[in-house]
Amino acid sequence: MREVTFGQAIREALAEEMRRDPRVFIVGEDVAEAGTVFKVLSGLVDEFGRERVIDSPISEAGITGIGVGAAMTGMRPVIDIMFGDFLTLAMDQIANQAAKVHYMSGGKLRAPLVVRTTMGATRRSAAQHSQSLYAWVAHVPGLKVALPSTPADAKGLLKTAIRDDNPVVFFEDKMMYSLRGPVPDGDHTVPFGVADIKRPGTDVTIVATSSMVHTALQAARLLEEDGISAEIVDPRTLLPLDGETIIASVRKTGRAIVVDEGYQQYGVTAEIASLIADGAFDYLDAPVKRLGAMNVPVPFSPVLEDLTVPTPEAVAALAKALCGQG
């Protein structure tokens, strides 16, 4: 199978969907010749022109609103919000407009819009460029939320997002753009609401999202040295969420940890931990544990920043304790 980077996978998904469907277009800050600050869109403007790869002013609410209006009237816009932290500026248009239009109109209007944005700390970008705010988005009915962790999932989920008739907020970890991995040839799509077992195991289930999938995989390698077999479940989409696969895994292993890079307080880990408690309580040999980002604004200093994000060592230590080896 071909190996491409995460960034290349995103670019391929967009190019293929734009070739397939003339209604698909991109709008955002520095998306055309600059190819975004992360260079993910490099070259798309050469193929599709400035009419379909549209450089916008720095107006996050405006471009999101324009995307909603275009989506409601027959287009399939892909909005680029450079940093996920800037979703705050667009949140009325996402939460009050895009998310509600189908329901409020009794099903007559729809907003097939994709908001692509980034997430994640450890780039030394400090508190306003490092957050993982998908819990905010996943709180609102009417939206879908995708969190790819591999190039194959990035490509397949983005193609599915563009074809979806609902607003989708698509979070890409900016530390993963250079990550390489196999991507199937042809029209590779990944369905929403289907979790992926990234590593099979028998002793403990680690449910991990986006960047934390790789943290969990490293933790699993550490645990292997201690004779503990960890199963890594990647939900891939938070909305819809594949509870069945998560619960089936926990019923098998009897132990569960949920790891996520969003703030731990009131976050994604709590939702999934609750789901596990409901669906697998009788199978649990230990309480469900969760690990999210520290509840502090992400600090600048590398020494401090690295403390805020769950590490493989922390995940492994928690798993060992759960398995009675702590």
The set of catalytic residues is: 60, 129
Strands 230-234 and 114-119: unpaired
CB of 236 to other proteins, least distance (A): 17
Question: What residues contact 279, with CB distance under 8 A and at least 6 apart?
Answer: 243, 246, 247, 250, 251
CB of 71 to other proteins, least distance (A): 7
CB nearer to other proteins: give 110 or 251: 110
CB of 247 to other proteins, least distance (A): 22
Which parts of this chain interact with other proteins (CB under 8 A)?
25, 51, 54, 56-57, 59, 61-75, 77, 92-93, 96-97, 101-110, 112, 141-142, 144, 165-166
CB of 193 to other proteins, least distance (A): 11
Question: What residues contact 167, with CB distance under 8 A and at least 6 apart?
Answer: 68, 71, 94, 98, 99, 111, 112, 113, 114, 115, 142, 143, 144
Strands of the sheet with 256-263, listed across from one edge:
196-199, 230-234, 204-208, 256-263, 289-293
* CA–CA distances in Å: residue 125 to residues 7, 21, 121, 299, 320: 20, 36, 7, 8, 33
Question: What residues contact 162, with CB distance under 8 A and at least 6 apart?
Answer: 13, 14, 17, 21, 24, 76, 78, 114
Percent helix, strand, coil in the chain (nearest 5)? 40, 20, 40
CB nearer to other proteins: give 233 or 239: 239
CB nearer to other proteins: give 104 or 321: 104
CB of 19 to other proteins, least distance (A): 16
CB of 277 to other proteins, least distance (A): 24
Burial letters 55-82, b for 16+ CB under 10 A, else e: ebeeebeebbbbbbbbbbeebbbbbbbb
CB nearer to other proteins: give 176 or 239: 239
- Site of tokens 């050469």: 46
d(CA 263, CA 260): 8
Closest CA to 236 of 284, 290, 185, 272: 272
CB nearer to other proteins: give 68 or 259: 68
CB nearer to other proteins: give 25 or 171: 25
Distance of CA 97 to the CA centre of its chain: 21
